[in-house]
Amino acid sequence: MGLALEQARAASAAGEVPVGAVVVRAGELVATGRNASLARCDPSAHAEVEALRAAGQRLGNYRLEGCTLYVTLEPCPMCAGALLHARVARVVYGARDPRTGAAGSVIDLFADTRLNHHTRVEGGVLAGPCAALLEEFFRARRRARRPQYPLRPDALRTPEARFAGLPGPAWPARYLSDLPPLEGLRLHYVDTGAPTPQAPTWLLVHGPHSWSHGLRHLAAALAAAGQRVVVPDLPGFGRSDKPKREQAHTPAWHRQVLDALVERLDLRCVVLVAQQAAWAHALAALAPGRIYAVLSVDAGTTPCDAPYPDAGHRAGPRALARWPQAAEADGAAGVPAIGARSLGVDPSACLDTPEAAGRLARAAVPYFFPRPPDDTERAPGA
């Protein structure tokens, strides 16, 4: 039965329902077989039939008298029929099959003396491992078939094809839908990862006329400078799901989402870069103790429009464009906030090209993360 289990595992590895069989005669292995129905497009390619065919070829006889067939699952009626035709002396099976078992579970073809005078049956041998293999296979298949991020009925999702062929670095798209404030909406973000355990973290938050892609030059420049960069698409933007109702978008809710993201990724000592001063001010209250400073940049001279299939997908940008006043009123920045201009960088164009973003990164990294005091060269702002 151990050898039959090996065959079953091989079937599973090939994507077939894991059932394996072996034919043994006088203590000698005659043939093996495993379920191969999918690969062969053959409904009869069950493990038992495969093993019987191979045994018949090997022994040069379609009668397999004196042989024992070991199979990990109770034979179905088809296989029971084939086993009876072959006059196999003994069938030993592992797990019972309550749905199609023909050795007693549904019917018992072996017990019907009108059909059978030859074959003895024994069940339940290594039943545990045989059944576990099947259960794990079907569990994995159910998992694979379940959509990973089902779309909420009150939201839209921009088809992936709309993002094909975008210029710029292709960081893998990461998704979350289990942050409590998302209530099942899919949130997209980029995380360049920490090149060193102590690498400072930058959280880049786009404005109402942009999305994560609009921050790609700055993200690339910061990552090249050894920083960890996290760039989410706010709900309603880019690759994140888009609630259809404008009223769904409130500053408080977006702040909760970002807050939960910062917590989930366990970002600490974060410099938050926001693409709009008022928005930056509002977000500074985010994730108490985790945001260390805020840097605001302008939206860029060229708005970075996400591919929106229609006006229905634009509820988020419409809502955010109306926010600045409200956001300023309820922002409670307890952390230092500066603008790009304070770093000697033109804030209006600093996101538009790799060169401009590089200048901003070269000014901002040493400003916020000065080198340790034992360094001879002190950074500005240290």
Longest CA pairwise span in the chain (Å):
98
Residue 44 Cα distances to 38, 40, 103, 131, angstroms: 10, 9, 18, 21
Annotated binding site for Zn(2+): 46, 76, 79
Question: What gap in Å lies between CA 247 and CA 19, rounded to an integer?
Answer: 55
Annotated binding site: 46, 76, 79
Question: What gap in Å lies between CA 321 and CA 318, rounded to an integer?
Answer: 5
Provide the edge-to-edge strand list for the sheet that holds 20-25: 28-34, 20-25, 67-73, 90-95, 120-122
Closest CA to 261 of 240, 275, 246: 240
φ, ψ of residue 221 in degrees (nearest 5):
-65, -40
Write out the residues near Zn ion by the rule CB under 5 A. 46, 76, 78-79
Closest CA to 72 of 101, 99, 45: 101
Question: What gap in Å lies between CA 357 and CA 222, rounded to an integer?
Answer: 9
Q: Residue 57 pairs with which residues in a beta bridge?
A: none
Q: Smallest distance, Å, CB 262 to Zn ion?
A: 55
Q: Smallest distance, Å, CB 7 to Zn ion?
A: 14
Helices (H), the chain: 2-13, 37-40, 47-59, 77-86, 127-145, 216-224, 251-264, 277-283, 315-321, 324-330, 354-368
**CB closer to Zn ion, 101 vs 236:** 101
Question: What gap in Å lies between CA 157 and CA 175, rounded to an integer?
Answer: 13
**CB closer to Zn ion, 130 vs 267:** 130
Which residues are tagged catalytic? 48
Closest CA to 84 of 115, 111, 62: 115
Identify whether the C-beta of residue 89 lies closer than 8 Å to the C-beta of residue 65: yes
In this structure, the number of other CB atoms found within 10 A of the CB of residue 19 comes to: 34
Neighbouring C-alpha atoms within 13 Å toward the C-beta of 209? 11
Q: Smallest distance, Å, CB 120 to Zn ion?
A: 19
**CB closer to Zn ion, 78 vs 326:** 78
Q: Which residue is nearest to Zn ion (CB)?
A: 79
Q: Residue 71 pairs with which residues in a beta bridge?
A: 21, 93
Q: Residue 68 pairs with which residues in a beta bridge?
A: 24, 90
Q: Smallest distance, Å, CB 75 to Zn ion?
A: 5
Q: Smallest distance, Å, CB 70 to Zn ion?
A: 14
Burial of 188 (0-12, 13-18, 19+ CB in 10 A): buried
Q: Smallest distance, Å, CB 11 to Zn ion?
A: 13
Q: Smallest distance, Å, CB 61 to Zn ion?
A: 22
